[in-house]
Amino acid sequence: METLQCVKAEDLVERSDIGQHGDRLLLDSLTGIWRNTNSKTRGIVKVEIAVRGSSLIVHAVGAGEVDLSDWGEVEAEHIFGNSISSHVAAGFTAQYDFDFSQVHLQANWNQGLLVVASFTSFKDGSNRSNYFSREFFHR
């Protein structure tokens, strides 16, 4: 029997336990308009997720003073299931690169909620700290 490489025991699975889909996960589980559970958020107001071809497209909208701040669309970098043998997408990573900051999004679906962690790094020389936030979204 071929031994699979791993760096933690949970990744050592039998071939027969692995789906035959490889890294092709079903993406529909993540699509739709996800709104922040906190209607007064000062962070991300909503995230629209769509499938385009074989890509997952992420469109985040931030809270703004007068109007919402449209971050635009980015393609998810990587898509993840919730287990090594799952064939349903349950999370993704995506990156926004603005002229003054970079935001790395890491999202996972959990019990009907989309949990979005964002890691913001500033590159404008302001005294703002790089910061982390985690918000919850419902469809």
Q: What is the DSSP letter of 27?
A: -
Decide: 34 and 49 in contact? Cβ < 8 Å: yes
| Window of 27-35, 50-58, 87-95 that interacts with another protein by CB under 8 A | 87-95
Q: What is the DSSP letter of 76?
A: -
Query: Which of the residues 53 through 72 are near another protein (CB under 8 A)?
Result: 62-65, 69, 71
The CA distance from 71 to 85, in Å, is 33
Residue 19 tokens read as 């789906």
Interface residues with another protein (CB under 8 A) are 4-11, 13, 15, 18-23, 25, 42-44, 62-65, 69, 71, 78-87, 90-91, 93, 96, 98-101, 103-104, 106, 108, 117, 119-122, 124, 126-134
